[in-house]
Structure 1
């Protein structure tokens, strides 16, 4: 079972889950062995073992996962399955995510130990283990980590168990021979099975069944203003408003970025650019689902301290891979981050990201990325003016490589003489806005040259700012077959610094720029906007980077809300503030009180049933009911009944049981009354019924010791339908 616990390595980040889950398995196995040796009835072993899970889980989970976990222990029992199927992988080993696997492992471990100790079956003890392993594999199927080595180890262990139990059944004399011959065969079979599975086409492929694909997470909607439209709103804020401070560091000592991104909009319908990907709950390790990066990368760390930030989307860079200090959800395709609770002034977080740093040769030889992750970013919706596609061809006609074509488009759009920068230009990023910026009339017949396109309209029509320039580049590049998206964020201004590596970001630095997915490099930014009029001095970057940026009462579009998993109904930020509701001692008390309440209801139900049996029906029925009552008491003291035994035979067996010796005389007197009531021709009288119940009362009081009768009073077996049928 420890190997099954280790199979969750494909679900959790790091190895922090091993101690609580492995501890759960060891505690469950040890407790089941002790209870199996001391308690004879199997159902009592199961009941005691399950009651023992609560304190053991509190120790194994809460004590090992820190102070943040206990308050979520109760809700994790209720929402654990939903959390397992909606959190982004790999997930942090929090109490909320560990409770359900812990409970499953506890139940399966207890079942396996009981089957090993209480049965002679060879394969039956493997059933709960196999079921738990299949469950672990299904839950971790999207974790991206191969489970073949662990499955091979589990196969070897299972075959060894089969070999040992088979040799025990064969007898002690043949045991050594079985083991000597069988162990090499078992090792070979396990190795062959693992090797054979590794070469199957779907062993680690993307076509495996994943229940997460069929589970829609519960969500809360957070209204979000169109990030592109907000660029102009923030740039025109007067005076500029401080948003946050970002302190950056890198593994190379050089800064490979000159801007921060808050949104990446890659879904275009001809009118709006949006990010239609689903935001999923994430832990400290962030999932990524973008183009593969094969060139050199630089790891960049960024510490963000919030000042006047009022949005949901959070600043990030490159490919975010880790975050600490804040509960977030992430859109794996774009890498966009959304705060679960609105950040307040003074809040902060630390982001870790990988930034591709290709050299000049890698960029020169780069080609457009292709595949399922990027193909949708190269599609253009219906409505593209043929003149725009023709313009893209003319601008890139002299370029010799894919990268040169992109540079040519950026240089063309950045020309201040063709397209003067105007922060007060009409907002918009649709086909119409792009055509207006480029001076293209979609209904004009005949070919339109690049120069003619630029001059086809009045000068005011060719004015724009970052929103139109980024949209124009993205559309023209898609017309050339490149996957593109529009990034929205902030430029890093070297004149607004806060010590080494620190940048104070204001609304004045809001900006938008296009990004292109290149094979082996990932998303690469380009600067098609003349930002010289913004008055910013950009931070130096290791490579040619994307190349400015406020609050005013303007009309802006509202786009579809960001979908954020509802993780904290109280709205409290992660790691700070007081939580409403019970504290962890309250949850622990409630969990411990639940089984105690159940045990307290058992004697009450027995009393109600005894009262009903004594008063219902004619005398013969009441005498038969008295016998069923006696059989229930005998079952509690270890004498199982059988419908094939007569009352006299049951009374005889009771004399052989030490706990029933004192009651044997009363049982012997009751047996003839019961036989006459069941098989006699005449109906017994009321006196016979009263005598039967008096003997029942005397025999019940004479069974076992006082402590034994107290234990028997909370024994639930007589209330179970199967046991009741057997005692009749």
Structure 2
């Protein structure tokens, strides 16, 4: 009697544990409850029909499975607020259950298509376990189906949840309990006959397997599990949505076409920007989405919060009208979408619908919007390294005149924000926006947009060309950038038309995230590119010396315009003269101090320490020279690549970027061979560098820095000499490698 009760209970409990483990990647506890119901009912059905012929059990259990599956899917559909006939929901779940489970975003929402596979698997596991373990009396074999279900749950979870410590120990303990209970059953053999205890033998075999496989299992504890999602292709967008930047020109030609109706997203007048797609990949031909969309529920993963940046919660209701495709416009960054099934890409915060958009589709988006403090931009750096290589990559064959223009815009703008602002100002001041500009953002299109004859259609474009040109120039100057396509929607709510479609560039900054820039023209009469263009110099960084107090003449001193000339030998101008003289003395002292500190820093780097130290110092002098010239070395470049990039000469800012000159082949200076060889020696063979290598590297970088400085105007040469930047710039990274 004990065996008849304990074994079914243990088998059902084993299946419930599998549901507990799998439920850790689901939102809420509905999946665990549905699996527990399947376990209890399937094992209970087997126990209730144990007196019937064995061939009747499977048909009865399958009929019960069909009824329970329909009930479970109905509950899941109601919880997910899915509309439609039950037959359609069941058919869709059965057809798409496995791929949607393996492509769903974690936490997985328990919808019909994500719960049907676990529920059916749990029921079949309970049926097999009871028939083998309880009806046939082979308890150890009866534990195999629940064990397979448990292993499958662990495999589906992969690296997306913590280790299942206590469920695994409980699972093993229940198996031992079932074997121990059945091993104490009464024997029908004679007393003098040797007793065969199959359960006991099975227990010994189990313990032996544990002893043999234990070391291997222990060695796998710290290993990262395989994620089965890598073998299943998530939802993909078609060509229409892969590069929606191409649609900007079409929308511009139909400015009155109604695309959306949006609800209010705030109070007052103004615009709220809706994001349709983020395009981070560029191959010289097309800017592409390149996203990995995962089927998602109504609740999306919370975006990474920026430090010390307030979060504004925005809820907006959007109704689709003439917009086609599958991309859903949302306020960045969405945390929940209700009203339609979606797939979500967490890296870009963009949303698609598995089905095509249809007029009348209405959905509600909740977003957490973060606006960084723009006052921090002038001092913010752009990140480097492998994490942002994707946002710095351009296709092969960059036109030479585009590269030279990027070098000119970066010249003298060492700070990341200064370079971005120079590109923004250049595009806004030299090009014109027109609605009938041809679509295209490949290298030839952008080259014609930037340098083409204005009388022949050059130097005019839509926001497609402005955003694409900005992002390309930004990447060529070492700024991680991307292009975004979206709409300017009225904050108070209302229609969104083709005229509201816009593309804009974004640049990534440390601690500030992606910051949007606006390179669109501010005037209807832009300056032709052929005219001289001199970028505004960057504002010098604040001096470490305290500023002298402003001098003001005594209150009794009359204004200079009406003051009588002082008598010969008088002292009427003495206070002003002394004040001005004090300011000059302080400025001269500050200049001499900076000059002395800069020369001392260079001397220590190139003459003191071991040869390795001196080569490392030469590398710092090289990177400082590049930064002072407005061409900072991207952190992800190796030494050889950085030197090759440095050999491209920058155009002096006083020279206009005319097409003929930009297309001329450059005259390269002497290569930085000794410096690169020395850096590679230090990186790969520490201690192997000799005095000759160190001296040659120092002499080479000194000559190179002097040649860069000599090409600047006199005031830039002076500022180069006393610039306090090298005294405070931190150099945590080791020199690049070959």
- Counterpart for residue 525 of structure 1: 516
Unmatched 5+ residue regions in structure 1? 173-185, 441-455, 495-500, 535-728
Pick which of 361-370 and 89-98 moved more. 361-370
CA distance in 1, matches of 2:307, 2:142: 47
1:54 is aligned to 2:66:
yes
1:482 is aligned to 2:499:
no
* Change in CA separation of 1:171 and 1:229 when aligned onto 2, cut-off 3 Å: closer
- Counterpart for residue 242 of structure 1: 258
CA distance in 2, matches of 1:532, 1:491: 20
| Post-superposition offset of 1:412 | 2.8
Instruction: Output one character per residue of 1:298-338: Cα deviation in whole Å (capped at 9) or x when no partner.
Output: 33322102333344432122233321112334455444333
- Counterpart for residue 5 of structure 1: 19
Does the aligned pair in 2 maintain the 1:62–1:70 contact within 8 Å? Answer: no
* Change in CA separation of 1:369 and 1:125 when aligned onto 2, cut-off 3 Å: farther
CA distance in 1, matches of 2:270, 2:20: 38
Instruction: Report the 3-state secondary structure (helix = DSSP H, G, I; strand = E; otherwise coil) of the residue aligned with 1:17.
Output: helix
- Counterpart for residue 116 of structure 2: 99
- Counterpart for residue 297 of structure 2: 283
Does the aligned pair in 2 maintain the 1:138–1:210 contact within 8 Å? Answer: yes
Does the aligned pair in 2 maintain the 1:292–1:519 contact within 8 Å? Answer: no
| Post-superposition offset of 1:106 | 0.7
* Change in CA separation of 1:27 and 1:60 when aligned onto 2, cut-off 3 Å: farther
Does the aligned pair in 2 maintain the 1:324–1:350 contact within 8 Å? Answer: yes
| Post-superposition offset of 1:486 | 1.2
1:266 is aligned to 2:280:
yes
2:395 to 371, 381, 406: 381
Output aligned runs, 1:277-676, within 5 Å: 277=291, 279=293, 281-286=295-300, 296=309, 297-360=311-374, 363-364=377-378, 366-369=380-383, 374-415=388-429, 418-439=430-451, 461-493=458-490, 501-530=492-521
Instruction: Report the 3-state secondary structure (helix = DSSP H, G, I; strand = E; otherwise coil) of the residue aligned with 2:226.
Output: coil
Does the aligned pair in 1 maintain the 2:97–2:116 contact within 8 Å? Answer: yes
* Change in CA separation of 1:56 and 1:339 when aligned onto 2, cut-off 3 Å: closer
* Change in CA separation of 1:479 and 1:14 when aligned onto 2, cut-off 3 Å: farther
Does the aligned pair in 2 maintain the 1:286–1:320 contact within 8 Å? Answer: yes
| Post-superposition offset of 1:217 | 6.0
CA distance in 1, matches of 2:49, 2:92: 30
What TM-score results when the alignment is normalised by the length of structure 2? 0.57
Instruction: Report the 3-state secondary structure (helix = DSSP H, G, I; strand = E; otherwise coil) of the residue aligned with 1:76.
Output: helix
Instruction: Report the 3-state secondary structure (helix = DSSP H, G, I; strand = E; otherwise coil) of the residue aligned with 1:527.
Output: coil
1:76 to 83, 93, 97: 93
CA distance in 2, matches of 1:156, 1:82: 31
Does the aligned pair in 2 maintain the 1:21–1:60 contact within 8 Å? Answer: no
| Post-superposition offset of 1:32 | 2.6
| Post-superposition offset of 1:493 | 4.5
Does the aligned pair in 1 maintain the 2:237–2:326 contact within 8 Å? Answer: no
CA distance in 1, matches of 2:69, 2:103: 23
Instruction: Output one character per residue of 1:498-540: Cα deviation in whole Å (capped at 9) or x when no partner.
Output: xxx4243222212111123344544332111125669xxxxxx
Pick which of 101-110 and 156-165 moved more. 156-165
Pick which of 512-521 and 336-345 moved more. 336-345
1:202 is aligned to 2:223:
yes
| Post-superposition offset of 1:285 | 3.7
Instruction: Report the 3-state secondary structure (helix = DSSP H, G, I; strand = E; otherwise coil) of the residue aligned with 2:478.
Output: coil
| Post-superposition offset of 1:381 | 1.0
Does the aligned pair in 2 maintain the 1:292–1:520 contact within 8 Å? Answer: no
Instruction: Report the 3-state secondary structure (helix = DSSP H, G, I; strand = E; otherwise coil) of the residue aligned with 1:461.
Output: coil
| Post-superposition offset of 1:218 | 8.3
CA distance in 1, matches of 2:232, 2:486: 32
Instruction: Output one character per residue of 1:570-603: Cα deviation in whole Å (capped at 9) or x when no partner.
Output: xxxxxxxxxxxxxxxxxxxxxxxxxxxxxxxxxx
- Counterpart for residue 677 of structure 1: none
Does the aligned pair in 2 maintain the 1:325–1:350 contact within 8 Å? Answer: yes
Instruction: Report the 3-state secondary structure (helix = DSSP H, G, I; strand = E; otherwise coil) of the residue aligned with 2:263.
Output: strand
Does the aligned pair in 2 maintain the 1:291–1:523 contact within 8 Å? Answer: no
Instruction: Output one character per residue of 1:245-281: Cα deviation in whole Å (capped at 9) or x when no partner.
Output: 222547xx89998311212222222122222445554
* Change in CA separation of 1:100 and 1:359 when aligned onto 2, cut-off 3 Å: same
Does the aligned pair in 2 maintain the 1:137–1:147 contact within 8 Å? Answer: no
Instruction: Report the 3-state secondary structure (helix = DSSP H, G, I; strand = E; otherwise coil) of the residue aligned with 2:486.
Output: strand
Structure with bigger RCO (C-alpha 8 Å, 6+ apart): 1
Does the aligned pair in 1 maintain the 2:509–2:515 contact within 8 Å? Answer: yes
- Counterpart for residue 41 of structure 2: 27
CA distance in 2, matches of 1:401, 1:413: 19
* Change in CA separation of 1:413 and 1:309 when aligned onto 2, cut-off 3 Å: same
* Change in CA separation of 1:112 and 1:371 when aligned onto 2, cut-off 3 Å: farther
CA distance in 1, matches of 2:440, 2:316: 32
Does the aligned pair in 2 maintain the 1:437–1:464 contact within 8 Å? Answer: yes
* Change in CA separation of 1:425 and 1:213 when aligned onto 2, cut-off 3 Å: same
CA distance in 2, matches of 1:375, 1:221: 25
Does the aligned pair in 1 maintain the 2:103–2:229 contact within 8 Å? Answer: yes
Pick which of 97-106 and 302-311 moved more. 302-311
CA distance in 1, matches of 2:456, 2:239: 40
Does the aligned pair in 2 maintain the 1:228–1:512 contact within 8 Å? Answer: yes
CA distance in 1, matches of 2:496, 2:98: 41
CA distance in 2, matches of 1:202, 1:520: 32
1:14 is aligned to 2:28:
yes
Instruction: Report the 3-state secondary structure (helix = DSSP H, G, I; strand = E; otherwise coil) of the residue aligned with 2:504.
Output: strand
| Post-superposition offset of 1:63 | 4.3
| Post-superposition offset of 1:490 | 1.4
CA distance in 1, matches of 2:447, 2:294: 36
What TM-score results when the alignment is normalised by the length of structure 1? 0.57
Does the aligned pair in 2 maintain the 1:20–1:61 contact within 8 Å? Answer: no
1:85 is aligned to 2:85:
no
CA distance in 2, matches of 1:114, 1:235: 68
Instruction: Report the 3-state secondary structure (helix = DSSP H, G, I; strand = E; otherwise coil) of the residue aligned with 1:411.
Output: helix
1:131 is aligned to 2:143:
no
Does the aligned pair in 1 maintain the 2:249–2:438 contact within 8 Å? Answer: no
